[in-house]
Structure 1
Amino acid sequence: MGSNAEFAINNVDFEKTVSRAEHLGLRDLAVIAWRDLEAPDSGGSEEHLTQVSQHWTNAGLSVNIRTAGVQGLPAQVERNGSKVIRKGGRVSVFPGAAFQVLRGGLGPADGVIDVFQGMPFLSPLWTRRPRVGLIHHCHMGTWSDLAPIGLAQLGYCIERFAIRHIYRSTPLVTLSPSSAEEIVKCMKIKPEQLRVGPVGIDSDFIPDITSGETEIPLVVAGGRFMPPKGFDRIPAILSSVKKKIPELQAVIFGDGPEKSRIESQIQKYSAEDWITLPGFISREDQVSLYQKAKLLIAPSRREGWNMTITEAAACGTPAVATKIPGHLDAVMNQQTGYLVENDYEMAEAIIAGLSDESKRIEMRKNSLEHAQKFRWEHTAAIILNALCDDAESRK
């Protein structure tokens, strides 16, 4: 996977880790995160938290989650065994979550999971409880895409200069070896602080052994329509592919702030008849789409992993993805897909993937095998184990 053996992915037994947590008194976990799963702009980070917290509650641990409020939805909800409290705005949630933990509003809070969705909660400044920080990826260079200029500058400064000092005694977990390397390089985090816990794959994502992929040269992409995802570049990329493969069809599922920009690019390249934007689709429809597609495309500029890549792989669909941290581990280059440096290379790789059937069949087989490595139980174990290490160091 990653090029640095220092960040190898270690197997951690889930049941033994839960027993260790209970022995250390970590029975009630407080999770603080910026955004809830039901927020309109939720994405992979929220799905990640939902999956790992469900494994903790299924194992008998208590989990209380605090996020910002979601307009039109209740302030409190039970989800998969966890209590989720949704209060405050996108800025006030940071002090609000801290006060709620300190006042006992998230239960005993034997341990704190501080989720970095760009901005961290700075938990080492206000609690001495055992804690772990969860960093999905660096946001260097993309802050201006995510926040107004003042907040973007603050976020950049905290990420670039403050986190390494504030969290110097806190274990941190990220999603991939390549993301860990980038965090060490850009954020100056000590390597010994970092653990790697890749995302899992839901059991719904399976290949269709009856009918398989369609005969139509169909490519898919999906996720939250945010600037770092690069979906607005897809119409231009695919327009050059269509000159070589006239039957090409594409589906880009999801929604978000970049939707109008993507639509305008589709119109610019007169692609309305062959690029479809169905919006958010159900899990069942995602699986069906992956099963029919010949390739998944992922043009992101920043990722911690990119769950769509390994979900598609579990359905037997290879990926063409940008060569960035996260993707470097989600895709095995030339084996489960192609890693590319720019849009021209992406177009050429898509043409190659659609034209060379024997190569694609080989990559399909490799993708299915690669996907077997990723389980949410393993992800949940690695995060909990890091929290246990911090608790043990405090005894």
Structure 2
Amino acid sequence: MSSLRIAIAYDCLFPATTGGGERQYRAFAEELARRGHDVTYLTADWGAAADEASFSVEEVCGPLRLYDERGVRRSAAAASYAHRLYRRLRRDRTRFDAVIVSGLPVLNVFAARAALRGSPTRILVDYLEVWGRTQWRDYAGLLTGSVGWALQRAAIALTPIATCHSQLSARRLRAEGLRGELLLSPGLIDKEIDVTPRLERTDPPFALYVGRHIPDKRVEHVPAAVAAARESVSDLRLVILGEGSSTAAVREAVDGTAADPWTRMPGFVSERELHDLLGRAACLVHPSRREGYGLVVVEAAAHGTPSVLVADDGNAATELIEPGVNGYIAASVEPGTLGEAIVRAVEQGDELRRTTRAWYEKAVEDRTIARTIDAILAAIPRPDSSRRRTRRAGKDLDGRSS
């Protein structure tokens, strides 16, 4: 089977930036490269993060400050990257067989469509999340949020092929006006999560939070919930990883619940320490109100660690939870409600850890990055040999794709 020339367009790159989207797109690039395809990752200047990649990394713009002091994506950064992406793709209109462009920020979609209009390059837009009007306004304010929502609807209408990773996002794409083809991926599990699960409880037990500290993650509710859980599990402790715009509120919550003696906040940690903590935690507590997939739930399950999530209209991660099998879903972030779910996860102990690992072992057979890439590749037609010869001739003449 002939190889393809595929670009992935996203302004972030793991491990320089560490969110779920960054991990997903790097995994996409690595899986495509492993299959012998020519992969180019179009991103900003993230320094050494491009080192030792199994694919080509091209910087289309300089370093970006992605978030403001509130943890909100900066429009200026999104516009800068989209403008430079447009120029790069416009210059190399026939260089790629396909471009996988992230639908967040939405300006990426307009840049790719405008640059490649009339070219044979297939465009696939990957939607990490799809927000409603209210969610946009809550996130960015009335004016900016309304503009963001309108741009999202326009981008969705311009999307020829959309990929997404939850039933929630699939429903919202159709509700927001998608008329093109929709590929709902089977999952985003990376088979490279190669760990030896710890299937016995660690004493004393501790609950673990992993992620950025921003308002949507609701990290500040965790200390009070664990304090409530300690009424039943007296030796329960808490470890909160990460930092962000809400860190001050989280520290205030720790002080306000007198949680300091049994709480650690080490900030961001190494990959090795992260996996050690994921393996030893009694449960992962992730009270986020919005998730496009919930990769951290999968990573915890690989270690046999159950997750405690919170139900919310924007939280697609709850689709990964089978209550009593690999975790629990609390009805709210109220201390008693969330604390009760934590107690159930901790008290089930070794048995819940065994069923959580069993859930992962079953899921890793068919909910993987590899299966998702299968679906993406099926949507990209193979170029004929005459088209490839034309490309090579053009490159020989002027030093780049014609």
> TM-score with structure 2 length normalisation?
0.80
SS class of match (1:356): helix
**Number of equivalences:** 359
Note the C-alpha offset of 1:382.
Answer: 2.6
Q: 1:351 aligns with which of 343, 348, 352?
A: 343
> Residue 131 and residue 82 in structure 1: after superposition, are their counterparts in 2 closer, same or farther (change >3 A)?
same
SS class of match (1:297): strand
Q: 2:7 aligns with which of 30, 40, 55?
A: 30
Could you list the per-position Cα deviations for residues 310-368 of structure 1 after superposition, in whole angstroms to 9, with x for gaps in the alignment? 11111111111123442232212232111222124322111122223475255335434
Name the counterpart of 2:197. Answer: 208
CA distance in 2, matches of 1:207, 1:74: 29
CA distance in 2, matches of 1:201, 1:74: 23
Name the counterpart of 2:305. Answer: 317
CA RMSD of aligned residues (A): 2.9
CA distance in 1, matches of 2:171, 2:59: 34
Name the counterpart of 2:145. Answer: 152
Could you list the per-position Cα deviations for residues 266-316 of structure 1 after superposition, in whole angstroms to 9, with x for gaps in the alignment? 122221221212222222222221221121111111111111101111111
> TM-score with structure 1 length normalisation?
0.81
Name the counterpart of 1:80. Answer: 54
* Structure 2 unaligned spans of 5+: 65-76, 385-402
Letter aligned with residue 363 of structure 1: T
Contact 1:317 1:367 in 2 (8 A): no
CA distance in 1, matches of 2:140, 2:52: 30
Name the counterpart of 1:55. Answer: 31
Are positions 1:45 and 2:21 aligned together?
yes
Letter aligned with residue 138 of structure 1: V
CA distance in 1, matches of 2:358, 2:50: 43
Name the counterpart of 1:6. Answer: none
Percentage identity across paired residues of the two chains: 21
Note the C-alpha offset of 1:148.
Answer: 6.9
Contact 2:161 2:180 in 1 (8 A): no
Q: 2:318 aligns with which of 323, 328, 336?
A: 328
Could you list the per-position Cα deviations for residues 24-60 of structure 1 after superposition, in whole angstroms to 9, with x for gaps in the alignment? xx622122113232445x4110111011101111222
Name the counterpart of 1:271. Answer: 259
Q: Which has the higher contact order (CA 8 A, sep 6+)?
A: 1
Letter aligned with residue 113 of structure 1: I
Note the C-alpha offset of 1:151.
Answer: 4.0
CA distance in 1, matches of 2:105, 2:340: 33
Are positions 1:195 and 2:172 aligned together?
no
Letter aligned with residue 103 of structure 2: F
Q: 1:232 aligns with which of 184, 204, 220?
A: 220
* Structure 1 unaligned spans of 5+: 1-18
Contact 1:313 1:364 in 2 (8 A): yes
Q: 1:254 aligns with which of 242, 247, 264?
A: 242
CA distance in 1, matches of 2:157, 2:299: 36
Contact 2:13 2:49 in 1 (8 A): no
> Residue 288 and residue 213 in structure 1: after superposition, are their counterparts in 2 closer, same or farther (change >3 A)?
farther
Letter aligned with residue 30 of structure 1: A
> Residue 371 and residue 295 in structure 1: after superposition, are their counterparts in 2 closer, same or farther (change >3 A)?
farther
Contact 2:13 2:26 in 1 (8 A): no
CA distance in 2, matches of 1:134, 1:296: 27
> Residue 99 and residue 350 in structure 1: after superposition, are their counterparts in 2 closer, same or farther (change >3 A)?
same
SS class of match (1:255): coil
Larger gyration radius, structure 1 or structure 2: 2
> Residue 76 and residue 99 in structure 1: after superposition, are their counterparts in 2 closer, same or farther (change >3 A)?
farther
Name the counterpart of 1:14. Answer: none
